[in-house]
A and B are shown apart, each in its own frame.
Chain A
Amino acid sequence: MFAAPAAASEVQTAANGNLAAKLTKLKETFTVCSYCGCGCGILLYSDGERIVFAEGDPDHPINEGTLCPKGNGIIDVYNVVNRKHKRRIINPRRITKPLYRAPGAAQWQEISWDEALARIAKRIKKTRDETFEEKDKNGITVNRTTAIGALGSASLDNEENYLLHKMFRALGIINMEHHARL
C-alpha cells in the first residue's frame, strides 16, 4: 500500500538518481475515484497532514493513468491552496464539528459528538415509539414505523451502506431510499 511512489521513482530515474525529489518523502495511497461509476484508480501523495497531489494510477486496468477534471481535482475536497499564504489548508467549507440548529433559530451552534448522538437517539426513539406498529389491521406482524424516513447513499462505501441498512431495518424503517431511484 505504501510502496515507493511511482511518480517519484520516475522523476528519480529521469534525473539519474541525482534529484532528491520531494515526492520520495511522501506517502503514496491507492484510492478509487469518488465521482462517477467508472471506478478509476488514483494514487494520492500526502505528507501525513496534507495531500500534495493526485495522479491516475498507471497500472489500473480501467483508467491506465488518465483522469478527468473531477478526478484530477479530487484533493480539493480535503485541502485547497490558500491564495494569500500560498499554503495548503483544509478546505474551509468542510464541516468539521457536529452542528445543531434549534427550532426557529437563525444560526447553527456547535455541539459535541456525544451530545449530538444522544439527542438524535432520543428523537428517533420518541418518533419510533409513538408510531410503531407491531401488527397491521389484518393482524399481520409488521414491526414498522412509517413516520421516519431515511436516505442512504451512492457516495458511501459498501460496508457503510450495509450498516445503515441494518440500522434502518432494526428501527422498523420502510421509507428507505437513495440515489438509485432518481
Chain B
Amino acid sequence: MTNHFVDYQHTDVFLMIGSNSAENHPQSMRWIGKAKRNRGAKLIVVDPRLTKSTVYADIFARHRPGTDIPFLLGIMNYAIQNNLYHKEYVVNYTNASYLVNPEFGFNDGLFSGAGEKNGRVTYDKATWQYQKDGETIKKDPTLKHPNCVFQLLKKHVSRYDIKTVSNITGIPEDVYRKVCETFASTGAPNKSGNIIYAMGITQHTTGTQNVRAIAMLQLLLGNIGRPGGGVNAQRGESNVQGSTDLAMLSHLLPGYLGVPNATKHKNLQDYIERETPASGYWKNKPKFLISLLKAFYGQHAAKENDFCFDLLPKVDGKNRTHMGIFQEMMAGNIKGFLAWGQNPAVGGPGASYERKAMEKLDWLVVVDLFETETAAFWHAPGVNPQNINTEVFLLPAAFSYEKQGTVTNSGRWIQWRYQAVNPPGEAKSDLWIADRLFKAIRKEYQSGGRFPDPILKMNWDYDIPGHDEPDVEKVAVEINGYEIGKNEPLDSFGKLKDDGSTACGMWIYTGYMAVDKDLNVPNCKRRSREDSGLGSFLKYSFSWPLNRRIIYNRCAADMDGNPWDPERALFKWDGNKWICHDVPDFGGGKPPRESGAAPFIMLPEGHGRLFASGPVDGPFPEHYEPMESPTENIISKQQAAPCANVFKGDWAKLAELGDPNYPIVATTHRTIEHYQSGAVTRSCPTLAEIGPYMYVSVSEELAKEKGIKPGDDVWVETARGKIKCKASVLPVVKPLIVNGRKVEIVGMPWCFGYQGIVTGPVANDLVPAVGDGNTSIPESKAFMCNIRKA
C-alpha cells in the first residue's frame, strides 16, 4: 500500500476492485465506513459477486472475471475525453510530457517490437524508449506533441469507450457511466480517490498490467502520494508484506535487490554496473548490496573478495517461480523440499498436480502448526501410502503469540508482538528451528562436503548463553543495520556505506530497531497514540521506509508547496520551511520547486510512469481475454495475453474457446471464517463451526436450468479435473450479457482440504497452470468450467 488503513478516513471516493474487504480485510471496511459517515465519501465496488462489501457500496458494478483492464482504461478515457484529469499533477509529476520514440506503435493488440520465441510473443523494447537530447529527455509540457506520452495514452485508451467496456465487462452502460463520473470526480485537485485491490486483480495472466492500469489511473487523477489517495494492495497474510520485503522469492534478495543472475552478472562489479541507475534513489544500490553482504558474511566479506558476492547462488534464467518449481518437481529434478509454513497441497494452482509432484521427492520437510494437507499428501484420500517413497518430516512450530518478533502489515507498519505462552509440547519457534537446523547442517559440513564455504562463512551467531531461544533482537538489529564495531542500530539507510564499514540485512527496514529517544523503546515497539491530527501516528510502531506513512508524498502538495486541499495538509511550505505531518521523502529542507522536480524518487526520471518500458508485455495495459474465456476478444485479434507463462502437463490443459463442455466462467474467493488454505482455521473449533462446508455459488437461473436446488451436491468440472461440493443458490452471482450473449459465472472459496475439523474438496485443483508474463502469478480468478447435479 502506498497509504495505510487509518488514512482511508481522508478518501472522497473509494474504488474497490478485486477485493472483498468486508470479509477479508474487515478493518479497511471500518475506515471506509468512517469516511462515508464523516465526509460523505462514496464507495464503488467492482466484483463478479455480490459480496458483503458490495452491499455497502454506493455503486456496485458487477463485471466479468478477467475484464479489469477495459474497466480501468475506460475510466481513463472518460477522464481524458471530459477533461476531468488532474492537469497540474499530470504535467508536473508524471511522464505525460515525455516524448517517446516516433517508431513506437500499436497494431491490433500488439505493440511495436513484437517477435516470437517458443510460441510466445517477446518484445524488442527499442521503440518503447524516451526521445533524448544527449542525456536529457525531450518533453512537451503542453502535452500536444503527437509522440508525447499523454497523446499516446489518449489514443490508446480512446478505444475503450463506454459501450465497448460494457460489452466486454458485462456492466450495463448506465452503471458504468456512473462509475466513470464518480471516480473521475477525484481528478479535481482538492479531491482524493483511493483504489483498493487484492488477489482479484493480480491472479490473472494480465495481473501486472491490471496493477499498472490502477497506478496509471491514479496518476492521471492525481491521487498518489496524498492523504486519502493511493494504490492500495490489501495483502492477505499478517506478514506477507514482510516476507515479500525479505524476499522469500526466487528473483530477489532482501530489500528488492535483484538476485544475481548467471547470464548477466559475472561478478560484483558486473552486478553493480548493470543494476545501478545513474539517477533516482536506486543509485545507492551498491551501498545496500554491500551492506547486505557484510550482514551475511561478516568478517569474511572484504573488498578484495568482492565481499563474498560469489558465495550467493546465481539463478539460471529458468522459471524458478512457484509453478516453475512444481513443474521441475514433477519432472524429477527436485529431490528435496522444505515447505515452511505454507500449504501448496491446497493453496497452489492445479493443487492436485502439486500433490502428485510431491510423490517424486526423496524427502520433504514440513514445518507447521497442524498436520496440513501438504504434510499429509502421502495419505490423502485416494492415495496409497505404500506407493509413495518420500520420506516426510513434520516439525511442530510455534504460533504467533507463542514467540516474539515483528510482522509488517499491509500499510508497511512493522509491529513487535510479544509472547503470551510457551509453545505446546515440544513445538518451537521458526527462529529456533531455523537456527538449530542450520547448525545441524554446519555440523555435517565440518567433516567436508561440496564447497562448504557459503555454509561455513555465513554469519550466524544468535546464541544467548543459558537460553534455549536464539536472540531475536540480535537478528532484528542485523536486519536494521549497524556500523561495524558498534552495536547501535542505525536510524537511517542514508548512513549505509559501500566500503564494508556497515552491515545491514535489509536496507528498507533501517530504523525499525533504532531507539525512539522520547519513548525509550525501539521504534517498532512504540505504542503511542500521539498524533498531529491527520492520523499519521508517527509514534506508533515504525513504517518503512524511514517511518514514512504515505510514500511519494511530495505529490501531496503542488509545485509551490501548497497542499491540494488545505483541510488535508500533509505538507505545506510556509515560505521558509516545510510544515510536516509525515516523514517527507524529499529531504525536509528542499524548497518546493526543487523537490517537486522529481517527486517519484525511486525512478531514474523522477516522474510517475503513465508509459513504462519495464513490463515484458507492453508499455500500456491492453485487454486480452483470460486464457480460458467464454468469448472472442472484441478489441483486437489477439485473443489471450501474448506473453503469458504457460506451463506443461495436465495442470496446464486449457479448454478451447467455445468448448461446449466448459461454458461457465469460474472464479475463486476467500471467506471471513477461514484464513488462506484453511490450514489453521479449519483446526479451530469456533471457526470450523461457522465455516463448515465447501460450496459453489450458482445463479438462480443456472440452478433452474440444471435442476439444482440449494444445498444439493454438484460436480464442478474443468479441463483439469472435477470436484464435488454443495450448491449455494443465491443472487450472489448472476448471468451477465457479454458481447450480446448470456454468460454464467460461478464462485468457489479455496479454503478447503482434506485435513482439519471440517474438510472439503480443493478448489485450486481446478485452476490452470498459466501465469502472468511478468510475475508468473497464476490465473486463479478466471477460468472455464461446467456444473451438474451430483
Selected interface stretch from B141-149, B242-250, B584-592, B626-634: B242-250
Does A87 count as interface, using CB distance less than 8 angstroms? no
Q: In the complex, what's the smallest C-beta–C-beta distance from B538 to chain A, in angstroms?
A: 11
Give the docked Cα–Cα distance between A103 and B390 (Å).
5
Find the A residue at minimum CB distance from B403.
A157
Given contacts A91-B683, A123-B362, A166-B460, contact A152 B243 (CB under 8 A): yes
Report B121 CB to chain A, min CB distance, Å.
23
Which listed residue (B28, B234, B341, B459) contacts A155, Cβ 8 A?
B341
Of listed A36, A73, A151, residue having the most chain B CB within 10 A = A36
Cα separation A142 to B527 with both chains bound (whole Å):
45
Tell me the bound Cα distance from A130 to B437 in angstroms. Answer: 20
Does B30 belong to the interface (CB within 8 Å)? yes
Q: Does A25 contact B (CB under 8 A)?
A: no
Complex-state Cα separation, A27 to B535, whole angstroms: 30
Give complex CA distance A163, B338 in Å. Answer: 14
Q: Is A85 an interface residue (CB 8 A)?
A: no
Question: CB of A10 within 8 A of chain B?
Answer: no
A73–B402 Cα distance when bound, in Å, is 16
Q: Is the CB of B316 within 8 A of A93?
A: no
User: In the docked arrangement, what's the CA distance between A122 and B103, Å?
Assistant: 58
Residue of A nearest to B22 (CB): A68
**Contact segment of B41-49, B443-451, B483-491, B556-564:** B443-451
Does any Cβ of A come within 8 Å of B430's Cβ? yes
Asked if residues A125 and B449 are in contact (CB atoms below 8 Å), the reply is yes
Interface code B376-392, partner A: CB below 8 Å = 1, 0 otherwise?
Answer: 00110000011111111
Residues of A within 8 A of B369 (CB): 77, 94-95
Interface assignment of B743: CB less than 8 Å from any CB of chain A: no
Q: Give the CA-CA distance A49 to B444 in the complex, in Å.
A: 37
Bound-state CA distance A102–B369 (Å) is 21
Q: Quick check: A98 and B394 within 8 Å, CB to CB? A: yes
Contact of B338 among A105, A141, A149, A179 (CB under 8 A): A149
- For chain B, residues 596 to 649, give those with C-beta under 8 angstroms from any C-beta of chain A: none
Tell me, yes or no, whether B206 is within 8 Å of chain A by CB.
no
Task: Kindly list chain B residues whose C-beta atoms are within 8 Å of the C-beta of A98.
Answer: 393-396, 426
Contacts of B574 in A (CB 8 A): none
Partner-binding segment picked from B60-68, B78-86, B320-328, B707-715? B320-328
- Once bound together, how far apart are the Cα atoms of A118 and B362, in whole Å? 16
Q: Which residue of B lies closest to A138 (CB)?
A: B262
Chain B neighbourhood of A29, CB < 8 A:
401, 418-420
B342 touches A153 (CB 8 A): yes
- Residue of A49, A50, A101, A171 contacting most chain B CB atoms (<10 Å): A101
Other-chain residue from B313, B386, B535 in contact with A169 (beta carbon distance below 8 A): B313
Known: A59-B529, A103-B390. A173 touches B337 (CB 8 A): no
A66 to chain B, nearest CB (A): 6
Cβ contacts under 8 Å, A9 to chain B: none
In the complex, A62 Cα to B430 Cα: how many Å? 27
> Is there an interface contact between A68 and B26, defined as CB atoms closer than 8 Å?
yes
**A 58-71 binary contact with B (CB < 8 Å = 1; else 0):** 01111100101110
* CA A125 to CA B542, docked complex, whole Å: 39
The chain A residue sitting closest to B372, CB to CB, is A95
In the complex the two chains form, is A151's CB within 8 Å of B339's CB?
yes
User: Does A4 belong to the interface (CB within 8 Å)?
Assistant: no
Tell me the residues in window 148-169 of chain A with beta carbons closer than 8 Å to chain B beta carbons: 148-169
Contacts A63-B27, A78-B421, A94-B424: A129 and B401 contacting too (C-beta < 8 A)? no
> Is the CB–CB distance between B262 and A170 below 8 Å?
no
Question: Closest CB of chain A to B395's CB: distance in Å?
Answer: 5
Q: Is B413 an interface residue (CB 8 A)?
A: yes
* Cβ-defined contact, A37 with B441, below 8 A: no
Residues of B within 8 A of A149 (CB): 325, 328-329, 334, 336-338
Interface size class of A (residues with CB under 8 A): 35 or more
From A93, A150, A166, B340 is in contact (CB under 8 Å) with A150
Q: On chain B, which size bracket covers the interface?
A: 35 or more
Q: Which of B363, B426, B472, B672 contacts A70 (CB 8 A)?
A: B672
**B450–A132 CB distance below 8 A:** yes
B458, CB-defined interface residue at 8 Å: yes
Known: A142-B313, A180-B248. Is A128-B338 also a contact (CB below 8 A)?
no
Q: Which residues of the partner chain B approach A90 to less than 8 Å between Cβ atoms?
A: 424-425
Q: Enumerate chain A residues within 8 angstroms of B318, measured Cβ to Cβ.
A: 146
Would B344 and A125 count as touching, CB distance under 8 A? Answer: no
CB neighbors of A among B76-132 (8 A): none
Asked if A34 is at the interface of the complex by the 8 Å CB criterion, the answer is yes
Known: A141-B310, A151-B340, A163-B431. A39 touches B315 (CB 8 A): no
- Say yes or no: is B693 at the interface (Cβ < 8 Å to chain A): no
A162 to B246, CA, bound (A): 6
With an 8 A cutoff between CB atoms, is B494 at the interface?
A: no
- CB pair A158–B310 under 8 Å, yes or no, is no
Evaluate contact between B237 and A37: CB separation under 8 angstroms.
yes
Cβ of B413 and Cβ of A181 under 8 Å apart? no
Q: B462 CB to closest chain A CB, in angstroms?
A: 8
Q: How far in angstroms is the closest Cβ of chain A from B423?
A: 8
A120 at interface, CB cutoff 8 A: yes
Instruction: Report Cα–Cα, A83/B778, bound state, in Å.
Output: 42
For residue B296, give the distance in angstroms from its CB to the closest CB of chain A: 6
Q: CA separation between A180 and B519, bound complex, in Å?
A: 34
B159 partner residues in chain A, CB cutoff 8 A: none
Contacts of B437 in A (CB 8 A): 117, 120-121, 167
Q: A29-B420, A95-B369, A142-B262 in contact; A123/B391 too (CB < 8 A)? A: yes
Q: State the CA gap A154–B424 with chains docked (Å).
A: 22
Q: Across the interface, which residues of B come within 8 angstroms of A1, CB to CB?
A: 418
In the complex, what's the smallest C-beta–C-beta distance from B208 to chain A, in angstroms? 13
Given contacts A61-B529, A143-B451, A180-B244, contact A104 B506 (CB under 8 A): no
Q: Pick the contact of A182 from B266, B313, B778 — CB < 8 Å? A: B778
Contact of B250 among A145, A153, A174 (CB under 8 A): A174
Q: Closest CB of chain A to B261's CB: distance in Å? A: 10
- The B-contacting residues of A in range 21-72, CB under 8 angstroms, are 27, 29-41, 44, 46, 48-51, 59-63, 66, 68-70, 72
Does A124 sit at the interface, judged by CB under 8 A? yes
Chain A's closest residue to B425 (CB) is: A96
* Highest count of chain A CB atoms <10 Å: which of B6, B434, B674: B434
**Whole-angstrom distance between the Cβ of A2 and the nearest chain B Cβ:** 9
Selecting from B180-188, B656-664, B684-692, the interface stretch reads B684-692
CA–CA, A174 and B476, complex, Å: 24
User: Does B505 make an interface contact (CB < 8 A)?
Assistant: yes
Is A181 a contact partner of B403 (Cβ separation < 8 A)? no
Question: In the complex, which residues of chain A have a beta carbon less than 8 angstroms from the beta carbon of B341?
Answer: 151-156
Q: What 0/1 pattern do residues 193 to 225 of B give for CB contact below 8 A with A?
A: 000000000010000000000000000000000
Smallest CB separation, B721 vs chain A (Å): 19
CB of A13 closer than 8 Å to a CB of B: no
Q: List 16 A-B contacts (CB under 8 A).
A: A29-B418, A36-B234, A50-B421, A78-B401, A91-B684, A95-B368, A95-B371, A97-B425, A120-B363, A129-B450, A132-B451, A148-B334, A158-B246, A158-B479, A169-B313, A177-B250
Taking A93-B683, A142-B314, A146-B328 as given, write out 20 further A-B residue pairs in contact, using a Cβ cutoff of 8 Å, ordered by the A residue number.
Answer: A30-B418, A34-B399, A61-B540, A77-B683, A94-B683, A99-B393, A106-B385, A116-B395, A124-B444, A125-B441, A125-B444, A127-B362, A143-B312, A143-B313, A148-B337, A151-B341, A156-B340, A158-B405, A175-B250, A180-B248
Task: Name A's B-contacting residues (CB within 8 A).
Answer: 1, 27, 29-41, 44, 46, 48-51, 59-63, 66, 68-70, 72-74, 76-78, 80-81, 90-91, 93-106, 108, 113, 116-125, 127-132, 134, 136, 138, 140-182
The 6 closest A-B CB pairs, nearest first, are A96-B425, A39-B409, A153-B341, A152-B248, A157-B405, A154-B240
